[in-house]
Amino acid sequence: MRASRGSLASFLAVVGLLLGAVLGLPGPSRAAGAQLPCDIYAGAGTPCVAAHSTVRALFSSYDGPLYRVTRASDGAGADIGLLAPGGYADAGRQDTFCADTTCAITKIYDQSARHNDLTPGPAGTSGMGADRGADAAEIAVTAGGHKAYGVWISPGVGYRYTGAASGVAVGGSAEGAYMVASGTHVGSACCFDYGNAESTPADTGNGHMDAVSLATTCYFAPCTGPGPWVEADLENGMFQGDNGSNTANRGNNSTFVTAVLKNDGQTRYALKGADAQSGGLTTWWDGALPGRGGYRPMHQEGGIILGTGGDNSNWNMGTFFEGVMVSGYPSDATENAVQANIVSVGYSGETNIPNGPQGTITGPGGKCVDVAADDTGTDGAAVQLWDCQSWAEDQHWTHNADGSLSTIGRCLDVDGNGSANGTEVELWDCNGVGGQKWVQQADGSLLNPQSGRCLDSPNGATGNGTRLRIWDCNGSAAQKFRLG
């Protein structure tokens, strides 16, 4: 039987997809006729009920916004959309809107018709405060041959749909999820998750979560190697196998990782991982749900989290690029097709070091200017010297057009807008006052023009935790701070 024109076009599209996956060729803004992850899932009877990405469309027909950024300078917001329907993010729109200031990602739009959008989460029972939005320019990569930004999760950053999201599994229903994340910007704290969580930010018991995690969290020893491992956060446990430990799970530490979880809600779940740049999925577990009380059946509540735990435990780090949640239990063939599509994107770039307009400030002893409290500093947080850590968001500063220096959404500030010798510096909301203006001098010092004094390490101290201050400019080693 002679193939129709439509069949031939479909055949050629599949051939092009496979060639792109094998050769790693960058794609156009959108490959004509190409099926994207949510098209693949829908065609197999397990439709997407939530789809989130700052990088690309996950439905071939999608032509709406991917995410929203909010400027620090004036509080204005802008939606970042696509270069073409079904295509890649218009990163240039963000660059233009956020020029000479910083922007935070304040909403990640759900690309399904269900409007399960994610916004910075509220405080939860973990004891942590409300989440802040990620710095929108912290991590740039290439996808489909285009520049795009990921979501750089540091402690204190996280997103949530509070309540029961439309169509998301509840009370033991089957579901699946995947995310593409960094395998190099990872940690062991709780929790870098994406998926189903409590409808409110509180731990309500075993089986009330069903989220995929990528972390170095060995919750149930023994674990094989250093990780990170693709795990299932089912609440009160990061599971790799039946009752937790699974030494067959050897982890995924590639620059980009596809992390997959599916759960029938009653007796069975599966975990898979892959290099998101090449190759196929490896099944790390396909078997029984934990035999501990509360997991057979599951008790999902239908909330959605990104970058935190169900009770808003937001101490971990990671980088997120795309992810979906689906209704039903996807087949292996469906997940293999989704992985082939992910590989065809041609993700590239470093994912473990912030590469936006920020730079470090190196001070006495080669130490970095750092904010106390591990990326979670609020108003009044101490600014100090500390060993330089490439992944530490609060050691990466933006020198803004108004002369301020900002990190994690706040500015380097002289306490009380003071001017006296010995006045300590701190982190504070950016407000344009003179105590937040800094000018790099030819001798390597950082001058605060309002006070006429320089950023200074008391008595030239170089130890971790040395609190910084302003002092008469004197050209000493205690006042050498290099913006890099």
* Interacting residues of 94 by C-beta distance below 8 A, sequence separation 6+: 69, 78, 80, 103, 136, 137, 149
Q: Is position 107 within any domain? A: yes
* Domain stop point among 345, 374, 396: 345
Residues 105 and 145 in one domain: yes
Q: How many percent of the chain have pLDDT more than 70? A: 93
Determine the average pLDDT of the residues in 341-358. Answer: 92
Catalytic annotation, pick one of 311, 374, 393, 394: 311
**pLDDT for position 34:** 86
Residues 66 and 193 in one domain: yes
Q: Do residues 316 and 192 lie in contact, with contact meaning Cβ atoms separated by under 8 Å?
A: yes
Residues 330 and 426 in one domain: no
Q: Is position 318 within any domain? A: yes
Q: Is position 5 within any domain? A: no
Q: Is position 3 within any domain? A: no
Side chain identity at residue 243, one-letter code: N
Residues 94 and 222 in one domain: yes
What's the total number of domains in the chain? 2
pTM: 0.85
* Domain stop point among 286, 313, 345: 345
**pLDDT for position 25:** 40
Query: Please, which pLDDT band fits residue 398 given cuts at 50, 70 and 90?
Result: confident
CATH number at residue 374: 2.80.10.50
Residues 135 and 164 in one domain: yes
Query: Please, which pLDDT band fits residue 4 given cuts at 50, 70 and 90?
Result: very low
Q: Which residue has the higher pLDDT, 17 or 129?
A: 129
Catalytic annotation, pick one of 193, 233, 235, 374: 235
Residues 444 and 317 in one domain: no
* Domain stop point among 345, 378, 404: 345
Residues 171 and 288 in one domain: yes
What does the angle CA 427 – CA 69 – CA 318 come to, to the nearest 5 degrees?
70
Determine the average pLDDT of the residues in 449-465. Answer: 96
Query: Please, which pLDDT band fits residue 37 given cuts at 50, 70 and 90?
Result: very high
Indicate if the pLDDT at residue 295 is higher than 50: yes
Q: Give the number of other CB atoms < 10 A from CB of residue 59.
A: 22
- What is the C-alpha separation between 373 and 169, in angstroms, rounded? 36
Model confidence pLDDT, tens digit, residues 250-272: 999 999 999 999 999 999 999 99
- The alpha carbons of the chain give a radius of gyration, in whole angstroms, of 24
DSSP code of residue 82: B
311 given a catalytic annotation: yes
Residues 339 and 406 in one domain: no
What does the angle CA 152 – CA 51 – CA 177 come to, to the nearest 5 degrees?
85
Structural domain span for residue 377: 361-483
Q: Is position 69 within any domain? A: yes
DSSP code of residue 75: -
Question: Averaging pLDDT over each range in 125-134, 301-310, 373-382, which range is the top one?
Answer: 301-310
Determine the average pLDDT of the residues in 27-50. Answer: 83
Residues 204 and 83 in one domain: yes
Residues 161 and 252 in one domain: yes
CATH number at residue 213: 2.60.120.200
Mean of the per-residue pLDDT values for the chain? 92
138 given a catalytic annotation: no
Lowest mean pLDDT among 39-53, 243-257, 313-327, 378-392: 378-392
- What is the C-alpha separation between 271 and 223, in angstroms, rounded? 15
Residues 336 and 367 in one domain: no
Residues 334 and 404 in one domain: no
Q: Which residue has the higher pLDDT, 199 or 394?
A: 199
Query: Please, which pLDDT band fits residue 128 given cuts at 50, 70 and 90?
Result: confident
Q: Is position 328 within any domain? A: yes
Q: Do residues 285 and 301 lie in contact, with contact meaning Cβ atoms separated by under 8 Å?
A: no
Q: Is position 17 within any domain? A: no
Q: Is position 471 within any domain? A: yes
